[in-house]
Amino acid sequence: MLILTRKIGDSIWINDEIEIIITEVKGDQVKIGINAPRTIEILRGELRTEVSNANTEALSTKLPNFKNT
C-alpha cells in the first residue's frame, strides 16, 4: 500500500481526475474532500464491508423450499 503523509489543505491527485483533499483533522477524525467525476463510485469502507458480509451470509448451500412459507 502506498502511504503518504499530508497536512491540512494538502491534496492528492489520482489519475488526473480524482482529487483528495485533507480538510480537517480533529482528534482521531479526519475530514476528507473528494473531487471526482460523477461516474466514479465513492463508498465508505464499512458500507462495502457490510455488503460483503451480507453476500457471504447469503451464499446458499441448498435450494430453498419455496413452498414452506
Partner 1 sequence: MNIQTAFLGEIEIDESQTLTFEHGLPGFDDEHQFTIIPLEDDGVYQVLQSVQTPHVAFITVNPFAFTNYSFDLDESTLHSLSITSEDDVAILSIVTVKEPFSESTLNLKAPIVLNMKLKKAKQTIIEKSDFPLRHPISLGKG
Task: Point out which residues bind partner 1 (CB under 8 A).
Answer: 38-41, 43-44, 47-69
Which residues contact residue 9 at a Cβ distance below 8 angstroms, ignoring those fewer than 6 apart?
21, 22, 23
Which is closer to partner 1, CB of 7 or CB of 44? 44
Between 7 and 62, name the residue whose CB sits nearer to partner 1. Answer: 62
Minimum Å distance from CB 1 to partner 1? 16
In terms of Cα–Cα distance, which of 48, 15, 12, 3 is closest to 32?
12
For residue 46, the minimal CB distance to partner 1 (Å) is: 11
